[in-house]
Amino acid sequence: MSETRKGMLLVISGPSGAGKGTLIERLMAEDKSLVFSVSATTRAPRPGEIHGVHYYFLSNEAFDRKVAEGAFVEHATVHGNRYGTLRSEVYERLGRGENVVLDIDVQGALNVIASEKEKVSIFILPPSMKVLRQRLTGRGTESQEAVERRLHNAIWEISQRDKYDYQVINNDLEECLRTLRAILEAQRHASAYYGVDVPEE
């Protein structure tokens, strides 16, 4: 038997501080079938971030032009900045059989869940609100006010978790990775993505 596979659209989201960034980095380092969809954003680059690698950093006007051109699969305002998934990052690659990873916020994910027929959506949960607060404070990158805003947003975001295909608690990084690998492996065999040519002999 020979196998054929269609590309998978993997939507990974969850509240800020749940740890999805680290999980995605680890998964991508070990699984070369995964490709990252580089989003557009109006936020300023952080030290070390590279245009075209981490994000496409656009002005508000350039972002507006992309919206008008219909260049986005989805776009949303997150913590005061605009972010969008570019069609050019997604569909051609899926067509080539690559598995495209979207690291997007919950509003954007719900839009993709509603608009894309074939996708695998995973919600990453923190073990508790207390741990989420500790993680957000511990980063040291946000003001107290920003931490409170993110925690407030997290309550609504977490209330949306049942709309995803899978929910994974990020209590222990390695255990969470094992679960994510298992989900990916099972999904590779979902009939939506999988095909086999059955030889006569």
Which of 43, 181 has the CB closer to ligand 5GP?
43
Compute the least distance from the CB of residue 46 to ligand 5GP, in Å. 8
Residue number with the smallest Cβ distance to ligand 5GP: 108
Whole-angstrom distance, CA of residue 65 vs CA of residue 87: 14
C-alpha gyration radius of the chain? 18
Whole-angstrom distance, CA of residue 86 vs CA of residue 67: 10
Which of 3, 73 has the CB closer to ligand 5GP?
73
Compute CA 129 distance to the chain's CA centroid, rounded to the nearest angstrom.
21
Compute the least distance from the CB of residue 110 to ligand 5GP, in Å. 9
| Residue that the structure tokens 């994974």 belong to | 168
For residue 169, give the 3-state DSSP assignment: strand
Compute the least distance from the CB of residue 195 to ligand 5GP, in Å. 30
Which of 85, 187 has the CB closer to ligand 5GP?
85
Which of 43, 149 has the CB closer to ligand 5GP?
43
